[in-house]
Amino acid sequence: MPDQTVTIELFDQEPSTFAGGLLVYLVEEGISQATESDLVINRLLAQVRETGDFKGEEDQIFLLYPELISMEAARNVAAKRVLFVGLGKQDDAINGRRERLRLAGGTIAKQAGAVKAKEVLVVLPKKYLLDAVEIAQCLSEGLMLGSYRFDLYKQPKEDAPAVQVERFLLHDGGLAASAVHKGLELGWILASATCAARDMANQPGNNWTPADFAEYAKKLGKKSRLKCTILDKGNLQKLRMGGILGVNQGSAQPPFLVILEYRTNKKNPTILLVGKGLTFDAGGISAKQSVGMEEMKYDMCGGAAVLAAMRAIAEIGLAEMNVVALVPATENLSGSAALKPGDIIRHYGGKTSEIINTDAEGRLILADALAYGIETYKPQAVIDVATLTGAVIIGLGHHYTGLLGNNDQWANQLIEAGARVGEPLWRLPLGCEYRKQIDSKIADLKNAGSDRSGSTITAACYLQEFVGETPWVHLDIAGTAWNFTEKSYIPKGPSGIGARTLVDCLRQWRPIQSADKN
Ligand code: BES
Ligand code: ZN
Ligand code: ZN
């Protein structure tokens, strides 16, 4: 796995002494100074404004080469290039301001790549209306996420050696250095975890198997304070997890249930995270069409998000909370022993399910994990993350993750977290009229309705059968896990969505009042 090599550090000298490839100032529209202390930079900005080519509008950039400027004082700037990046107008909405910094970070990363700068210094905007920790955090996230590349399988071209940013430096610009330091560390951890989730997703199905999920979790367990337990096929058989085992029947790769635990104190609340770790979904006997099927290697993005979140949680720490993550991992193929339409399976805990469509396999593996996780760890609240239905893409496109759940307070906590981190969520309803669509004549339920109407909702109804009264939220990331809204810090392909929302939600967790059910 390519590990994130880009670093971000604090720079405590005068920005003018920075002799690297790119020196960056963030400029708000309508504010005439780029910095509190550097008169030369402010004079340059004034001249640039006079050209009319740069006003500080959102996403606007202007690149200067100090050496080529006739102004004598410009010689005092040691950097090879100076870049002004627009932040747009002051905006009341705080989430909008967070997002603009992430976008600016992504833009800087792209520009640094274009000019092949190895070292980049960004001077933070002192007057930006946001807490200093958050300014540094959001910008760092944008810088790191925007620098992401996956070239593990490309031969390096000898004639054109790739130059990548190696180091980002942040100058506090007059903000408290300790806050900036805290923010950049947070941003780095969250972005690195997100990039790790992107890496897992980018890996081809033959190099990211259920065993690779298990290996990754074991390594995390060794490196951090997380406890890792791997349940193998034998364990799953003893526990009678007919969902995971059933889906696995058509595959030569053994299944695993990966467990990571972040523990503080028994008295603290426990939150359960469950992620769909389907490392390739060919549909099984109810085969998918072959056009575009290669994208089904991404069917493990829920599992990736959950593991990435645990990695970040272990690094950041959560004082008064326990977090348990479960990733049921298998392929869904059509080997001769594969599950067939009409078969009946028995889930962990005893509920039976008639298989109508073997391509509706995500709910089968999640159901076992949810039932087992809730019984074993008795969590106060549960979140599952899964690329569960094609229908969510029809409904919400690639811009919002679908959210469904049995508790308004818990759903709202997630919606707020998603809005803070730039991963928006949209709630869909649940209800007995949808639940009826998966009534089976001969089993407790069936795994798909007779048509695809409301199939994002009926999929969630299936999961709801396994969570009982525990506050639970389901995130259907089929539309956002890859080809999520393209932005400067979100590339085409896997987005790594979910990890930052999960961590943010847990860091801001408020106990759920039991009276308020959905
Ligand atoms: N992994 C797919 C969902 C999916 C589809 C993700 C497209 C990303 C893009 C899931 O296992 C699936 O096949 N779901 C079926 C369910 C149906 C048979 C009820 C679907 O949505 O078509
Ligand atoms: Zn499927
Ligand atoms: Zn699937």
- CA of residue 288 to ligand 2 center, whole Å: 8
Rounded Cα distance between 385 and 401, Å, is 10
Number of C-beta neighbours around residue 453 at 10 A:
11
- CA of residue 288 to ligand 1 center, whole Å: 9
Nearest ligand 1 atom, CA 332: 11
3-state SS, residue 61: strand
- Catalytically annotated residue among 198, 297, 351, 363: 363
Instruction: Single out the residue of 171, 89, 184, 182 nearest to residue 128, CA to CA.
Output: 89
Beta bridge partners of 170: 10, 122
Range with lowest mean pLDDT among 163-172, 223-232, 462-471: 163-172
Q: What is the mean pLDDT of the chain?
A: 95
How remote is the C-alpha of 217 from its chain's centroid? 17
80 carries an active-site annotation? no
In this structure, the residue with its CA closest to atom 17 of ligand 1 is 360
Type and span of the H or E element at 100 = helix 94-114
Range with lowest mean pLDDT among 73-77, 380-384, 494-498: 73-77
3-state SS, residue 454: coil
Asked if residue 221 lies in contact with residue 259, where contact means CB atoms within 8 angstroms, the answer is: no
Asked if residue 88 lies in contact with residue 56, where contact means CB atoms within 8 angstroms, the answer is: yes
Rounded Cα distance between 98 and 338, Å, is 48
Could you tell me which residues come within 8 angstroms of residue 99 by beta carbon, excluding any fewer than 6 positions away? 138, 422
Could you tell me which residues come within 8 angstroms of residue 138 by beta carbon, excluding any fewer than 6 positions away? 98, 99, 101, 102, 105, 130, 183, 187
Asked if residue 216 lies in contact with residue 260, where contact means CB atoms within 8 angstroms, the answer is: no
Q: Residue type for 518, please?
A: N
- Structure confidence at residue 3 as a pLDDT band (50, 70, 90): low
pLDDT tens figures, 309-354: 999 999 999 999 999 999 999 999 999 999 999 999 999 999 999 9
Rounded Cα distance between 367 and 358, Å, is 15
Rounded Cα distance between 481 and 386, Å, is 9
Note residues around ion ligand 2 (Cβ under 5 angstroms): 281, 359, 361
Number of C-beta neighbours around residue 145 at 10 A:
28
Q: Residue type for 253, please?
A: Q
363 carries an active-site annotation? yes
Token duo for residue 180: 């900036």
Location of structure tokens 């599952």: 384
**pTM metric for this prediction:** 0.97
Number of alpha carbons in the 13 Å side-chain half-sphere of residue 205: 22
Residues with CB under 6 A from ligand 1: 281, 299, 357, 359-362, 387-391, 448, 452, 455, 478
Could you tell me which residues come within 8 angstroms of residue 125 by beta carbon, excluding any fewer than 6 positions away? 25, 26, 27, 28, 87, 135, 173
Location of structure tokens 């893409």: 393
* Average pLDDT score over residue span 105-111: 97
Could you tell me which residues come within 8 angstroms of residue 449 by beta carbon, excluding any fewer than 6 positions away? 356, 437, 438, 455, 458
Which ligand neighbours the alpha carbon of 277 most closely? 3
Beta bridge partners of 383: 273, 473
pLDDT at site 155: 87
pLDDT tens figures, 4-31: 589 999 999 999 999 999 999 999 998 8
pLDDT tens figures, 184-226: 999 999 999 999 999 999 999 999 999 999 999 999 999 999 9
- Structure confidence at residue 373 as a pLDDT band (50, 70, 90): very high
Asked if residue 202 lies in contact with residue 321, where contact means CB atoms within 8 angstroms, the answer is: no
- CA of residue 205 to ligand 2 center, whole Å: 15
